[in-house]
Amino acid sequence: MQRKKQSFMNEYNEKESECVGLWNKCLAIIKDNISVSQFKTWFEPIVAEKWEDRTLTIQVPSQFYADFVDEHFSELMKMTFDRVMGEGTKLMYSIVAESVQKTKIVVAPTPQHNIFNPFASRTRATIDPQLNPNYTFDTFVEGSCNKLGVEAGLSVAKSPYKNTFNPLFVYGGSGLGKTHLVQAIGWEILKKFPEKNVLYVDANRFQLQYSDAHLSNRINDFLNFYQQIDVLIVDDIQFFSGKIGTQNVFFQIFNHLQQQGKQIILTSDCSPKTLQGLDERMLTRFRWGLTVELDVPNQDTRKSILQSKVKNEGLLIPDDVVEYIARNVTENIRELEGVVVSLLAQSTLTKTEINIELAERVIGRIVEVADKTITIQSIQKLVCDYYRLEANDIQTKSRKREVVQARQIAMYLSRKYTKNSLSSIGEQIGKRDHATVLYACNAVNDLLKYDKSFRQSLETIENSLK
One domain, residues 322 and 395: no
131 inside domain: no
Average pLDDT, the chain: 79
One domain, residues 143 and 244: yes
412 inside domain: yes
Mean pLDDT on 309-321:
73
Of the residues 339, 366, 393, the one at which a domain ends: 366
431 inside domain: yes
167 inside domain: yes
202: phi then psi, degrees, rounded to nearest 5: -85, 160
One domain, residues 383 and 412: yes
What is the total count of domains within the chain? 4
Q: Domain range holding 333?
A: 299-366
Q: What's the pLDDT at 162?
A: 67
Tens of pLDDT, residue by residue over 8-52, are 444 545 667 788 888 899 898 888 788 777 788 788 888 888 888
Q: What's the pLDDT at 160?
A: 78
Mean pLDDT on 80-88:
85
Considering only 19-33, 50-64, 239-253, 302-316, which range has the smallest mean pLDDT? 302-316
222-234 exposure pattern, b = at least 16 Cβ within 10 A, e = fewer: bbebbbbbbbbbb
> Would you give the end-to-end CA distance of the chain in angstroms?
101
CATH number of domain containing 141: 3.40.50.300
pLDDT band at 282 (very low <50, low <70, confident <90, very high): confident
40 inside domain: yes
> What does the alpha-carbon distance between residue 189 and residue 321 come to, in Å, rounded to a whole number?
37
One domain, residues 336 and 271: no
Q: What's the pLDDT at 370?
A: 41
One domain, residues 152 and 239: yes
Mean pLDDT on 60-79:
79
Specify the higher pLDDT residue, 402 or 163.
Answer: 402
One domain, residues 142 and 284: yes
383: phi then psi, degrees, rounded to nearest 5: -65, -45
Q: Residues, the chain, total?
A: 466
CATH number of domain containing 310: 1.10.8.60
Instruction: Indicate whether 372 pLDDT > 90.
Output: no
176 CB-contact burial (10 Å; exposed 0-12 / middle 13-18 / buried 19+): buried
> What does the alpha-carbon distance between residue 140 and residue 150 come to, in Å, rounded to a whole number?
9
> What does the alpha-carbon distance between residue 343 and residue 341 come to, in Å, rounded to a whole number?
5
CATH number of domain containing 451: 1.10.1750.10
8 inside domain: yes
> What does the alpha-carbon distance between residue 249 and residue 240 come to, in Å, rounded to a whole number?
11
CB of 145 closer than 8 Å to CB of 301: yes
Of the residues 366, 389, 407, the one at which a domain ends: 366
Residue type, position 191, single letter: K
One domain, residues 155 and 284: yes
One domain, residues 64 and 101: yes
Mean pLDDT on 335-339:
73
130 inside domain: no
Of the residues 328, 346, 366, the one at which a domain ends: 366
One domain, residues 98 and 19: yes
Instruction: Indicate whether 352 pLDDT > 80.
Output: no
Tens of pLDDT, residue by residue over 119-165, are 444 444 567 889 989 888 988 888 878 888 888 888 888 887 666 78
Give the Å distances, CA to CA, from 5 to 11, 19, 332.
Answer: 10, 21, 81
One domain, residues 334 and 396: no
125 inside domain: no
Q: Are strands 55-60 and 115-116 parallel, antiparallel or unpaired?
A: unpaired
pTM of the model: 0.52
pLDDT band at 200 (very low <50, low <70, confident <90, very high): very high
One domain, residues 276 and 328: no
> What does the alpha-carbon distance between residue 93 and residue 57 come to, in Å, rounded to a whole number?
6
Instruction: Indicate whether 231 pLDDT > 90.
Output: yes
One domain, residues 196 and 343: no
Tens of pLDDT, residue by residue over 89-126, are 888 888 764 333 333 333 333 333 344 444 444 444 56
CB of 131 closer than 8 Å to CB of 265: no
Mean pLDDT on 374-398:
85
